[in-house]
Structure 1
Amino acid sequence: MDLKYSSEQDLLRDSAFGYLSSVYDYHARCRIVAGKEAIDRSIWAKFAELGWLALPIPEEDEGIGGDAVDLSVVMEALGSRLVVEPFLPTVVLGAGLIDLLATGEQRAILAEVAQGTAMLALAHQERGVPFGSPRVETRAERSGEGWSIRGAKILAIGAGLADHVLVPARISGAIDDAEGVGVFVVSRGTPGLELTEYPIADGRRAADLSIDIAGLSDSALLGGCENALPALEQVIDKAIAASCAYVVGGLDMLIRLTRDYTAGRSQFGKPLGRFQVVQHRLAEMQVKRIEARAAMQLAAIRCDGPRIERIRAISAAKVKVSEAARYIAHQAVQLHGGMGLTEELSVGTYLKHVLTFERLLGDTDDHLRRYAQLLADGRIDVRRGLVNEGAEA
């Protein structure tokens, strides 16, 4: 399999890394995180100008029509600088779900995202519900000519900034049914929508939602669809692949920072980087990075493929990237000594993002179980490395 980028993707990569290296150093990021909104709207507008916000949006919706590999190129650049602007919740999760489900005038939101005039968030997670479970306790019921929604969501990244929050809610059936779930678009300021915003460990902000909304119009239900869980699974998988690319971009930076630090820091009369044990650690960090990057690229390639191939690649990548990132981040902190955990250096912030990445969108145990279930169902022949699409789910 060819994991090389096309010439257009190489240009996109050079442009993304070039722009971010000129405007988004660690000190700039610290100023942004400490601000009232924890984003820089002028930088967000530049993302729109560069076409990044339009990248995965179809051309008929004023987008570029790029695929998951194109998206991974930009995410890797964003991760190298730990960019906190809500690219993942808006472009990957929010716009991705609207693209899969919305019809007619509902799709106008995609053009707003591409132009940088609308931010989105997905509020899908509920307290006590494990990753991959069809359980949805938030309820939507017919109320006159519209809908009423009641429930609660947690850990919605970027919801405090969002112009529209996408809320999965159960329309019919029991709370664990695989069908009977729709996705509603709830605009900022809608009566009955209350957000409690807070920072998470890596500097981004999330929110818990309390929902008691009445009189929501029919147009709020995306595509009129009452079987939205497959689309939700697909877009969350794409977000996992994009998050893996983001983390891999950070691993490149961690290794570079550690190499430069050990080359300049002297002990016992010579630079730390000349000690064999340090060289061995740096070499192992590089091997782990290469393994993580290969898993990430395969996940991006499989994102738009058949479901079983997608799940296999995505869950494998989440596990591989998590393990490699934790090793690299820990080594980077140790080789920086006590300075590695101070706010003066960026190394500790990269570690915080790695630890956050491990917990969001399913942790390592969740994805090992998901992968193991494919084996148990006969969906993967591990001896031959093949996917059996004909096996029963």
Structure 2
Amino acid sequence: MSELQLHLSAISTTLFHLTDINTVVLTSSGTVLLNHEHDSIPEFLNSWQKEDIAFLAAEAQISPVQCCKYTNIWGVTYLAKAFHLHEERTKIMVTGPFLLQVPDVNKLYSKFKLDQGKRIELEGFYRGMKLISAARVQSMANVFEQIEGISQTDIRELELQTEPVRSPRQSKIELMLQQPDEAFIDLIELRYQIEQEMMQAVQHGDHETLQKVRSKMKNLYDFSERFPNQPVRALRNALIILNTLLRIAAKNANVQPFFLHQISEKFAKQIERTETIDFLNKVMTLMFDEYCRLVRQHAVKGYSPLVQKVVQFISLHYNKPLSLEELSQECHAHPAHISRQFKKETGMTLTDFQQKQRIEEAKPLLRNGDLAIKWIAESIGFDDAGYFTRIFKKLEGMTPTQFQKS
């Protein structure tokens, strides 16, 4: 066996034993060089798997610095990574299939009109497959990144000490075992550090910084070990905690309780009702985006108590005509004083601020794509869609229709 073949064998065997998942090594053209099988594929799925592996081999070579993840129409997932050894041609490592979540077999039965025999075979196949958390997938991808450095390592056997010599004091090993695991402490400290960075970014409505912090998180916030084989429940619990942290961050920015309650309740319900990993990840992205937007739109930190009250009043009644008389009664101050103080602290007139609030409320409605401009204009308080369009263009540099298309 050549040095290259030995190296390929060491790599593929290592990954196979670490994951207990089918592992295949391919040439750049898709020819199988090595194949380690843990879960046999139902015969009627063989053609699907061949197509999937060919697709992964092609995709992995398009972006060799990245690890490709692909979930097919049957709900099973594969990882693939291109690599080079000894200046040879590109090889592709593929691991899979495995499950990110339990597929809806009833939908598959209906979609593919499977007979009873195939149904039983498919159910047995799914039951035997590994259910992998998102954090473990990330860890597998991290190992794939180091493929070229994997080699066969010598192992030195240590003999059991049948009669250990003990000093009157506890042995050094015993003392070490009593100490907290430093690596574990470092991980906990890193989690809290990133958590603080995340909350600071939300507190300032800094979406750009928040995206950078999110890229650090990855599998640091995985608690799937608490719920083995229940990745949906593990992620759902993590999002419940995240929702609380984001609400606290927004509260620290002096966002009014009404808005905090509104957004927190909305996401609590979405988390509870969502049944798949993919949609829970989308909910997480929405949470980051909307809490940041909430802070930018409704935070009143740094304003005087009077201006804070005005901001809260207009934010709550943005879609109604601005009544200085009602505002005066709410704030217990003269209308002229309110107008002067508001302009002094915010740099905007009361009308400008209300229009800005209305435009911000219009944006998510426009992103929906299915709502008419006239309906959106009326729902946020504009009687005239043309006037709404002019104000929107003045503040955003484009028309509502252009924003909708972008």
Shorter-chain TM-score: what band? under 0.3
Higher relative contact order (CA 8 A, sep 6+): 1
TM-score w.r.t. the length of structure 1 is 0.24
TM-score w.r.t. the length of structure 2 is 0.23
Radius of gyration: which is bigger?
2
When you count helix as a share of all residues, which structure comes out higher? 2
